[in-house]
């Protein structure tokens, strides 16, 4: 069976559409918010990864969400750009306006269909919900031929009512039908049963793409997605590193590699460039400040590490003894020496291009190059990871109101630690000195003197970008203000400088967050 799709044309039976919602469902979760520049950078990486659809945000949620969906629609080539909307007119018009500049665009509209959600969340009768399904899809179709409709809490919806809603959506012109397991309650057999039923019972089902959207509350999001594919789903909704509400969404890298590794069991073809997986995962960690756990499948530090002698011996004789896929197939390479202190600006620019930072502007390049030279003076060996950490520090922070300038710290076992810090705030450089219980404490007090705020420090953690005593420290700082949580990151060979950068990054994110609407008020 082949389907004619407005944006993808004739879709072969085994083609799998990868719908990435890192920038919407992923970004919506606590601590993961990104600013415009960060979202654009992430969207570029997703396009290079080869995803088919980027759900770029929820345009009605805030001015910032609208602006970033529109900016992505304007500048990202390749994937279909999608905006989310509830079933109301204002939501749909806002989403339509935001995705309008995209070469290929989609509106994704949804409404809850489970008894629990209809009664308590929507306070609507089923007939009114059914009418809203048809009306919302009809309205969205006036702005694009590619309309996705989702039954929120679909996995807990009564089967007959779900069939009626899906039929109404198809009749109104939906081209993709998505059934989310919104609360991560379903087991693989539940999802398989739901999709099999819909495909058998709903008139017109053969004309649309069915889509799976699974949350990970029981750790089953990827298993449920694979079961859905085997029941006829041809689009999967997922996020990089599995980020998302609560326990997260199905992880893109796990779905794609499960399919690549087991074509005998999962007859589907995603168009992803798997070699770009690791770098996309790392970029997201750098932007959000959340590293994946070491044992995370595919992208965790230990995913291809063999510690036991028996395993090491087997891998040396034949890697297939203990590796079901090659590390290179998902982008792992040995840390490579990239450049030294004698490397010039042109070589540095070439290196950035090769690492996917082709769009770096002149000023950003100059700043990043200055920091690279400084790093190369202090550090014997400069790795790709080092360059990535410092470039992300510079490039991602272009729109920041507060910028780190310099830090002078005195510490040790005798005198009380003190820090003299210079920050540029809204273009003006200011300086303050403070003492504290330790050099980090003194530095953070100096930041508070320069930029007063009420946020509470909730987490402070230090890791290393690479190995060795001269490695750059990567510091994460989590701040909370009025229930809003943000994580900032900073890297430097000096741990205290990295700490100051991380704190300043978190403060900048907090400023962005202050301007946003509470997500709860708009929760999907």
Residues that bind Zn ion (CB under 5 A): 25
d(CA 121, CA 119): 6
Residues 6 or more apart whose Cβ sits within 8 Å of residue 238: 18, 19, 20, 21, 225, 249, 250, 251, 252, 255
Whose Cβ is closer to Zn ion: residue 25's or residue 253's? 25
Write out the two tokens for 310. 């028996």
Residue 367 interacts with ligand KIV (CB under 6 A)?
no
In the complex, minimum distance from the CB of residue 27 to ligand KIV, in angstroms, rounded to a whole number: 12
**One of 98, 139, 208, 524 touching ligand KIV (CB under 6 A):** 524
Query: Least distance from C-beta 513 to ligand KIV, angstroms?
Result: 20
CB nearer to ligand KIV: give 188 or 490: 188
Can residue 91 be called a binding residue for ligand KIV (CB under 6 A)?
Answer: no
Answer yes or no: are the C-beta atoms of 399 and 35 closer than 8 Å. Answer: yes
Strand partners for 481: 484
Nearest to residue 301, comparing CAs of 273, 335, 272?
A: 335
Q: Within positions 25 to 54, which residues make up the interface with ligand KIV, using CB under 6 A?
A: 25
User: What's the N-to-C CA distance of the chain in angstroms?
Assistant: 33
Q: Among 59, 79, 180, 488, which residue sits at the site for ligand KIV (rule: CB under 6 A)?
A: 180
Q: Is 182 in the site for ligand KIV (CB under 6 A)?
A: yes
Q: Residue 434 in contact with residue 419, Cβ under 8 Å? A: yes
Enter the DSSP assignment of 461: E
> Which helix (H) or strand (E) is 444 found in, with range?
helix 439-450
Half-sphere exposure of 420 (CA within 13 A, CB side): 3
CA distance 39 to 340: 31
Minimum gap (Å) between residue 19 Cβ and ligand KIV = 10
Q: Which is nearer to ligand KIV, 21 or 476 (CB)?
A: 21
Q: Is 211 in the site for ligand KIV (CB under 6 A)?
A: no
DSSP state of 77: -
- How far is the C-alpha of 17 from the C-alpha of 146, rounded, in Å? 14
Nearer to Zn ion, 25 or 394 (CB): 25
Question: Least CB distance from residue 46 to ligand KIV, whole Å?
Answer: 17
Q: Among Zn ion, ligand KIV, none, what binds residue 393 when CB lies within 5 to 8 Å by partner kind? A: none
Q: Does 214 contact ligand KIV by CB under 6 A?
A: no
- Asked if 110 is part of the footprint of ligand KIV (rule: CB under 6 A), the reply reads yes
DSSP 8-state secondary structure symbol assigned to residue 473: E
Phi/psi of residue 428, each to 5°? -110, 130
Contact assessment for residue 339 and residue 351, using Cβ atoms and an 8 Å cutoff: yes
How many residues of this chain interact with ligand KIV, rule: CB under 6 A?
9
Least distance in Å: CB of 15 to ligand KIV? 22
Contact present, 259 and 305 (Cβ < 8 Å): no
Rule CB under 6 A: is residue 152 a binding residue for ligand KIV?
yes
Among 213, 351, 397, 403, binds ligand KIV (CB under 6 A): 213
Among 7, 29, 150, 176, the residue binding ligand KIV under the rule CB under 6 A is: 150
Q: Which does 80 bind (CB under 5 to 8 A by kind): ligand KIV, Zn ion, none?
A: none
Smallest gap from Cβ 221 to ligand KIV, in A, equals 11
Q: For binding to ligand KIV (CB under 6 A), which residues are involved?
A: 25, 110, 150, 152, 180, 182, 213, 215, 524
């Amino acid at each position: 069976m082949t389907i004619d799709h407005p944006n993808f044309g004739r879709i072969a039976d085994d083609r799998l559409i990868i719908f990435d919602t890192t920038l919407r469902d992923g970004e919506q979760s606590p601590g993961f918010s990104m600013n415009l520049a960060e979202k654009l950078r992430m969207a570029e990486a997703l396009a290079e990864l080869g995803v088919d659809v980027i759900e770029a945000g929820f345009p009605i949620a805030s001015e910032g969400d609208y602006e970033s969906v529109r900016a992505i629609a304007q500048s990202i080539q390749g994937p279909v750009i999608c905006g989310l909307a509830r079933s109301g007119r204002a939501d749909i018009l806002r989403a339509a306006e935001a995705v309008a500049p995209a070469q290929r665009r989609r509106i994704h509209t949804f409404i809850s269909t489970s008894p629990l959600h209809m009664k308590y969340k929507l306070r609507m009768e089923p007939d009114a919900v059914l009418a809203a399904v048809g009306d919302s899809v009809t309205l969205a179709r006036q702005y694009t031929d590619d309309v996705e409709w989702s039954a929120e809490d679909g996995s807990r919806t009564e089967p007959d009512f779900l069939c009626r809603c899906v039929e109404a959506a198809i009749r109104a012109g939906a081209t993709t039908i998505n059934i989310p397991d919104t609360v991560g309650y379903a087991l693989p057999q539940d999802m398989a049963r739901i999709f099999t039923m819909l495909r058998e019972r709903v008139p017109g089902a053969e004309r649309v793409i069915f889509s799976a959207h699974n949350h990970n509350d029981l750790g089953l999001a990827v298993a449920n997605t694979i079961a859905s594919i085997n029941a006829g789903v041809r689009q999967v909704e997922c996020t990089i590193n599995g980020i998302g509400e609560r326990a997260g969404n199905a992880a893109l890298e796990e779905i794609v590699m499960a399919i690549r590794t087991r074509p005998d069991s999962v007859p589907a073809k995603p168009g992803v460039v798997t070699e770009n997986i690791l770098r996309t995962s790392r970029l997201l960690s750098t932007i959000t400040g959340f590293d994946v756990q070491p044992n995370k499948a595919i992208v965790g530090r230990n995913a291809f590490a063999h510690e036991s002698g028996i395993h090491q011996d087997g891998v040396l004789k034949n890697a297939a003894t203990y590796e079901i896929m090659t590390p290179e197939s998902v982008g792992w390479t040995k840390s490579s020496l990239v450049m030294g202190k004698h490397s010039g600006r042109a070589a540095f620019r070439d290196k950035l291009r090769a690492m996917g930072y082709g769009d770096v502007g002149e000023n950003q390049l100059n700043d990043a190059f200055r920091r690279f030279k400084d790093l190369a003076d202090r550090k014997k060996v400069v790795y790709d990871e080092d360059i990535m950490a410092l470039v992300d520090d510079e490039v991602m922070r272009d729109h920041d109101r507060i910028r780190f300038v310099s830090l002078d710290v005195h510490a040790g076992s005798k005198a009380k630690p003190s820090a003299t810090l210079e920050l540029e705030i809204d273009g003006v450089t200011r300086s303050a000195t403070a003492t504290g219980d330790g050099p980090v404490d003194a530095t953070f007090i100096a930041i508070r003197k320069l930029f007063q705020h009420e946020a509470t420090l909730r987490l402070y953690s230090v890791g290393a970008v690479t190995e060795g005593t001269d490695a750059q420290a990567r510091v994460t700082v989590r701040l909370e203000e009025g229930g809003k949580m943000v994580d900032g990151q900073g890297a430097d060979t000096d741990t205290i400088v990295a700490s100051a950068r991380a704190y300043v990054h978190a403060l900048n994110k907090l400023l962005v967050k202050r301007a946003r609407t509470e997500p709860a008020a708009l929760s999907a």
